[in-house]
Amino acid sequence: MTRRLAERPEDVPAVFAERFNSGDPEAVAELYESGAVFVPESGAALTGPDLHAANERFQSLGVPITVRPRHVHSAGDVALLVVDWVIEGTGPDGLPVLIESTAVDVARRGPDGRWRYVIDSPFEGTRAGRDQG
């Protein structure tokens, strides 16, 4: 059984990690508002089925994610989440996997009182560091 959607913005990263680590793409998809945006490392925003396919590609690595929230700032029904994360372990092919970055995300409390991603930018911290060149 997967964890319920977050009732507080600071719980969104932990709910994401639990659902991601469950291996169930549908459980992860429930964490996003309709019309949400996912920004992969390329910087080209994805929505709808493309957003969910991007998450499924990460899940298909078969390696767990660990999250460490750095900052959570909320104003009413909107929250900014800055989260360090790492996907680390051995993939199904026996090779080591290590992907890590800092996400800068926006979540919103829905009419049901649960928090969901509106913008998920998992590589923003890495990209921002490179852009300062």
What does the pLDDT look like over 70-127, one tens digit per residue?
Answer: 999 999 999 999 999 999 999 999 999 999 999 999 999 999 999 999 999 999 875 4
Q: What is the pTM of this model?
A: 0.89
Provide the β-strand partners of residue 83. 69, 103
> What pLDDT does residue 126 have?
59
CB 119 within 8 A of CB 14: no
Q: How many CA atoms lie within 13 A of 132 on its CB side?
A: 5
> What pLDDT does residue 131 have?
37
Of the chain, the percentage scoring pLDDT greater than 90 comes to 85
> What pLDDT does residue 101 have?
94
φ, ψ (nearest 5 deg) of residue 19? -70, -40
> What pLDDT does residue 128 have?
43
CB 9 within 8 A of CB 79: yes
